[in-house]
Amino acid sequence: MVFSINLTFLFTVFLLFRSVCGAYSVLAEEYTSGNFFQKFDFYTGSDPTNGHVQYVSQSVATSLGLIRNDAGSVYVGVENQKIAPNGRQSVRLESKKRFTRGLFILDMSHMPSSTCGTWPAFWTLGDNWPNNGEIDIIEGVHKNTQNSMALHTKDGCSISTGSNLLSGVQVSKNCFVNAVGQSNNQGCSQLDSRTNSWGDGFNNVKGGVYAMEWTTQFIKIWYFPRNLLPSDILGKNPEPLKWGTPAGFFQGNCNINQNFNSHKIIFDITFCGDWAGNTWGSAGCGALASTCNAYVANNPTAYKNSYWQINSLRVFSS
């Protein structure tokens, strides 16, 4: 009885310590240049967002030079030499392993450039969308320079995070994909106010690190330029409580456990489609061609800098 009570006491102390110190110590998965492509599936179906794109298999991507292992990093890009009337060839990677909660840390030196027609994203997704949720960590279109972060869910999830709790800007609050008064599938979205958080701005500072913390209570997203990395963020025991105010902070009238479950990690670069295609003119790209599809199809060299250069991706369990 005494032994059992002592074990219970120690376990309680451990949980309290974990909640106070905020450090993560259990590495659930690590993606590096040596194993990266072995741990992802190559999606080859039609684009769910109706993009002007053809997602190719690993063998085709390798033969076309769309993927490769560089010294200590991996390159993931798009076809940029041929006219593409039926869609530009690209890669959509989906992790073989699934995750529910945790700390996701992505170290990159380059992301797709701020180029008209592009719509790249780094995100997580559950099955039977939107019932198990979607978390957009890095996303943007065309000539954007500020990163867009968002959650997409079934009905019944909204965000009410105070503006003092995030460094970014709240754009929309209802995470439901068909929310009244919001654009279709807008979700609850927040925008990083820094112009080096996405595309050309990110690449000009030699990249940096993105981190997403997903708990039972909230989802937070940080971005750190290369010269401002926390000392522990690439170490064995990262501690988000020491990292300061996140760029994105999603919390409110939303049961995280009921809306976000068993997610795969996705990297993709699509073109045009539901977002980029519908904002072609308003984004200042209309002078280049009459439509987004026409420009993407006929200007392959515009996309030479549309690539991810990934140093590592680590996932710690909560």
Annotated catalytic residues are 134, 139
Residues making up the chain, counted from first to last: 318
Strand order in the sheet with 118-125: 40-42, 92-95, 264-271, 118-125, 134-139, 148-152, 188-191, 169-172
Q: SS3 sequence, 163-212? A: HHHCCCEEEECECECCCCCCCCCCCEEEECCCCCCCHHHHHHCCCEEEEE
Q: Which two tokens stand for residue 2?
A: 């005494």
Task: Give the number of other Cβ atoms within 10 Å of residue 219's Cβ.
Answer: 24
Q: Which two tokens stand for residue 258?
A: 């009921």
Which three-class secondary structure state does DSSP give residue 16? helix
Task: Give the number of other Cβ atoms within 10 Å of residue 19's Cβ.
Answer: 10
Kindly list the distances between the CA atom of residue 206 and the CA atoms of 198, 225, 271, 309, in Å, as whole numbers in the listed order: 12, 8, 24, 11
Please, which residues have CB within 8 angstroms of residue 103's CB and are 6 or more apart in sequence? Answer: 24, 211, 212, 213, 214, 238, 240, 315, 316, 318
